[in-house]
Amino acid sequence: MSTADLVIHYAEQFYQNLRKDEHSQDRSWEHCYKASHDARQVPEPDYDYLSPHLAFYLASWGMYHGSSFLTQKDYRMDSPVVQELLDSRYDCLFGLECEDLRKPEIQQALVSLESFMERYYEGVRNSCKGPVNSRISVTLITKILIGTLGCVPAYDKYFTERIRSQKTASGTYGISSLLCLANFYEENYEKLEKTRENFKVYDLNYPQMKILDMGFFGIGLACEQNK
C-alpha cells in the first residue's frame, strides 16, 4: 500500500470511529474549529465563550497533563491567544489549502502568529515555573493552529515519527517541512480530495492539513500498538 493509500485508510478509520460516538474526545477538534470559523464572521466575538473551547480541546488532546504549566491556570489564560488568532491578518490561514503555503504572505502570517504564541506562553510558563531555557512545545503551538485554523498538522510524537519514516517530510516543524507535506498532498491531490469531500465538520469540509494529520497520526498509532 502506498503512503497516500495508508493516509487515506487511517484518516477514514479515524473519522468513522469519531462519527460512532457523538461525545468522542476527538469531536473537541470539530467544536473548536467550528467555533473559530463562526467567530470570524461576527464583528465582536465572545472571547469568554471561545477560550473554553480552546482549553477543552487542548485538554482532550493531551496538553493538560500533570506536569504542564497549562494546568496551573484557568481557561481565561488563553484569551489573549484567542484574540490574536481572530485578528483579520490571519483570515488567510483559516482552512488553508496546501498550495497556498508557497505564498510569501501566507508564510509570513504563519510565522508571525507562531511567534506571538511562543512569546505569550513563555511568559505564562515563566510565571508558573520561573525562567525555563527550553522553547515552548511545538506540539502545543501546532495543536492550537490545527484546532483553530486547520492550517498545519499537529506535530506530535506519532505524526512526526511517521512523516519521517515514510520519507514524506522532516519531523522538525517549520516552513520547509510544511512545504514537503504540501508537495505530498498535491502529488496525491485527486485521491486525497476525493476522501476529504466526505469529511464534514458541521457545514464545513475538513481542511487539507487535517486529513494529513489524521492519516499520519493513525499510521503512527497503529505502528506503536503493533510493537
What's the mean pLDDT in 18-33? Answer: 90
φ, ψ of residue 204 in degrees (nearest 5): -110, 150
Is the pLDDT reported for residue 227 higher than 70?
no
How many angstroms separate the CA atoms of 48 and 152, rounded? 25
> Which amino acid, one-letter code, is at 168?
T
Supply the mean pLDDT for the chain: 93
Residue identified by cell 502568529 is 113
- Averaged over 139-157, what is the pLDDT? 97
Alpha helices in the chain (DSSP H): 3-20, 27-39, 47-60, 79-85, 104-129, 138-148, 157-165, 175-187, 189-196, 208-226
pLDDT of 21 > 80? The answer is yes
221 pLDDT exceeds 90? no
Rounded Cα distance, 80 and 84, in Å: 6
Question: Minimal CA–CA distance to 50: which of 18, 14, 76, 19?
Answer: 76
Domain ranges across the chain: 3-226
pLDDT grade for 134, boundaries at 50, 70 and 90: confident
Per the DSSP assignment, residues forming a β-bridge with 200 are 205
